[in-house]
Amino acid sequence: MSVTEISPLEALSRVLTDDMERVNVLIRARMASDHAPRIPEVTAHLIEAGGKRIRPMMTLAAARLCGYEGDAHIKLAATVEFIHTATLLHDDVVDESEQRRGRPTANLLWDNQSSVLVGDYLFARAFQLMVEPGNLRALTILSNASAVIAEGEVLQLTAAQNIATDEATYMTVIRGKTAALFSAATQVGPVIAGAPEAQVQALYDYGDALGICFQIVDDYLDYGGAGDGLGKNLGDDFRERKLTLPVIRAIALADAEERAFWDRTIGRGKQQAGDLEQAMALMARHGTLASTRQTALDWAERARQALAPLPDHPLKALLSDLAGFVVERVN
């Protein structure tokens, strides 16, 4: 990418400027509370910290790509951002995180109680918003996604520290915690547009593959990134004993001595200085960071191919480029 070129994300956000401005206005209006000022304080801290708004943009792009001309996509895009924000608040409580988007987390600035309850409020606001357009199929998709997200989070919690976790479990976790909201965000676009089933399926498949790719890249960068400027530190997942793809693959290829290392550091959480470096050396020895990168590339390609049934449209090309852009972070 040359210095004068803009990223596909930036290009998308320019094409969707008017819609996104309406989404942002709606988000600010609905994060208010008549009675509890703590709610907009906590929400604004997170929502105005410069998130990329990639999920609501997916809904807008999918709807417009299918020729949608109404207003419902604005409410559903705001719904998607509220669900995302609620899960971030609860995730940071569960992970005891101290940084998010380069700033102190809400649980640190206020307390866990506020994060739990404000998250609940945003979930409820999301449901109010999704009900308003009155499209029952969109409602079913988004409420199902909410359940799958929570299920993925619980599964991640119980799989953490368990070095027997396999790739199938990992896929279930990331499909839940990450891909389910991407695929719901893209699928509701053609649904409200009344697009043919092939397009509904195509945009579901695209969102699913993009979300999986996105999470695998994230998990790769936790070991392979040189700081991504997003407030995530190298090795956070290792310290939190999360079983992510590069680790799962390294454990699968471990000899007895290596297995003992993983059992001690991840299984029993007895970590000491030098362990992160040792973990990265083991992943390098078995090539699991490289193979994780390849898996991310494969999912990006799947996302691009999923778009085939869709009509030619400038947004189709941008969504295709976006899949490549997501995985570019690993280069």
Q: What residue ranges bind its own copies (CB under 8 A)? A: 33-39, 87, 90, 93-94, 112-114, 116-121, 123-125, 127-128, 131, 134, 136, 139-140, 143-144, 146-147, 149-155, 157-158, 172, 176
Nearer to its own copies by Cβ, of 42 and 254: the residue is 42
Helices (H), the chain: 8-15, 17-30, 38-47, 54-65, 72-94, 106-109, 112-131, 136-159, 167-174, 180-193, 197-224, 236-239, 245-252, 256-262, 275-285, 288-306, 314-328
Query: CB neighbours of 101 closer than 8 A, spacing ≥ 6?
Result: 46, 49, 50, 51, 230, 231
Tell me how crowded residue 11 is: count the other CB atoms within 10 A of its CB.
18
Nearer to its own copies by Cβ, of 145 and 318: the residue is 145
Nearer to its own copies by Cβ, of 113 and 278: the residue is 113
Minimum CB distance to its own copies, residue 246 (Å)? 22
Nearer to its own copies by Cβ, of 143 and 291: the residue is 143
d(CA 284, CA 281): 5
Minimum CB distance to its own copies, residue 232 (Å)? 20
Closest CA to 266 of 274, 275, 257, 255: 275
Nearer to its own copies by Cβ, of 212 and 221: the residue is 212
Minimum CB distance to its own copies, residue 110 (Å)? 9
CA 24-26-28 angle, to 5 degrees, is 70
Q: Residue holding tokens 């419902």?
A: 72
Minimum CB distance to its own copies, residue 12 (Å)? 28
Minimum CB distance to its own copies, residue 129 (Å)? 9
Tell me how crowded residue 104 is: count the other CB atoms within 10 A of its CB.
13
Minimum CB distance to its own copies, residue 159 (Å)? 9
Say if residues 77 and 25 touch (Cβ distance below 8 Å): no
Nearer to its own copies by Cβ, of 91 and 222: the residue is 91
